[in-house]
DNA sequence: CCGAATCCGGCGTGATACTG
DNA sequence: CAGTATCACGCCGGATTCGG
């Protein structure tokens, strides 16, 4: 191990000592697969600012199709990240909101966004450099 | 906004005030797409414990195909996350190691792993509950 | 030992149309 | 407004084979 930060070293150690290090059925990878879903985290962050209705979400995430919005919301609901509430109005309206579990992922995911925001320029430059060298 | 933690509220605000909130070409989403890659972060965490050679990586991540290993390593190299060093030995050997940029993602990604590790039981239970209700 | 090149099946994804 | 149903396409990713 090189001189990583204390905190980084801790995570690396935990990773290496995980009971199922890198098995395909490792439960952590199961959760991470959801996180890596194209739309899941985008919707979570959109719902983070408060409950929203179906078409409201469509407007705030313009490039999601209706199908994927429905499907992603159902998956998030299934995982207990999002709550769904139906109002018997006319026309009917449905409200989606983050559960406490859903809210709890905002912080760790925020760290990742912060990292991406801070480093996307560096990454972009590295890509240009790499491609020009080829 | 409900009573999220101070930190969570901060990330939500940043997200909503982002210059490109949710455009498809938002640079942050470009970076996040890489993170959401099936193998990228797995390899980063595997390399976090030190430089490794090609077949060494294959052994430590048994369920990755040779093709995806090559491809993912090249992408990571392109993004400046991984360095590649060739030794003119016989037989030749190639060593991959994290760059400082690559090491810098260990901490934010570690937070996510920690969250996944802490909550995968809750999520699993929520899924069973949801499926049985259907 | 470290790859590149090729073939190909499956599934995630979007477009479109229809329902209550 | 809030979905469901169906179809068709793209491309990711695995298996296999070949090369330096």
Closest chain A C-alpha to B63 CA, distance in angstroms: 7
Instruction: Decide if B48 contacts A15 (C-beta within 8 A).
Output: yes
**How confident is the model at residue B50, as a pLDDT?**
94
Mean per-residue pLDDT, B4-17: 90
Band (B62; pLDDT cuts 50, 70, 90) = confident
Say what the pLDDT of residue A104 is.
96
| pLDDT value at A123 more than 80 | yes
Q: What is the pTM of this model?
A: 0.90
Interval B50-60 mean pLDDT:
94
Q: What is the pLDDT of residue B24?
A: 53
Protein residue at shortest CA distance from C1' of D4: A67
CA distances from A119 to A103, B28, B113 (A): 25, 9, 20
Shortest distance between the Cα of A91 and any Cα of chain B, in A, equals 25
Q: Which residue has the higher pLDDT, A107 or A34?
A: A107
Q: What is the mean pLDDT of chain B?
A: 89
Note the strand C nucleotides within 7 A of protein beta carbons. Answer: 1-6, 12-17, 20
A78 pLDDT exceeds 70?
A: yes
Coil, strand or helix at A98: strand
What's the pLDDT at B2?
58
Nucleotide nearest the Cα atom of A36 (by C1'): C12
Contact A50, B1 (CB under 8 A): yes
Subunit contact B4:A103, Cβ cutoff 8 A: yes
Per-residue pLDDT for B12 more than 70? yes
Lowest-confidence segment of A28-37, A67-76, B72-81, B116-125 by average pLDDT: A28-37
Among B84, B27, B88, residue whose Cα is nearest residue A125: B27
What's the pLDDT tens digit per position in A88-105? 988 899 999 999 999 999
Footprint of strand C on the protein (CB under 7 A): A 37-38, 63-68, 91-92; B 53-56, 66-67, 70, 73-74, 84, 91-94
Q: Residues A5-64: pLDDT tens digits?
A: 889 999 889 888 876 655 556 777 778 878 788 899 899 999 999 999 999 999 999 889
Q: How confident is the model at residue B16 (pLDDT cuts 50, 70, 90)?
A: confident
């Amino acid at each position: 191990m090189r001189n990583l930060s204390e905190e980084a070293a801790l995570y690396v150690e935990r990773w290496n000592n995980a009971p199922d290090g890198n098995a395909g059925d490792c439960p952590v990878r199961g959760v991470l697969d959801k996180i890596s879903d194209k739309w899941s985290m985008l919707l979570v962050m959109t719902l983070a600012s408060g409950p929203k209705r179906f078409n409201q979400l469509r407007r705030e995430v313009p490039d999601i199709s209706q199908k994927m919005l429905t499907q992603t919301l159902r998956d998030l609901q299934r995982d207990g990240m999002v709550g769904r509430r139906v109002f018997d109005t006319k026309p009917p309206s449905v409200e989606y909101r983050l559960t406490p579990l859903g809210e709890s992922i905002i912080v760790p995911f925020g760290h990742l966004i912060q990292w991406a925001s801070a480093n996307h320029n560096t990454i972009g430059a590295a890509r240009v450099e790499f491609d020009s060298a080829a």
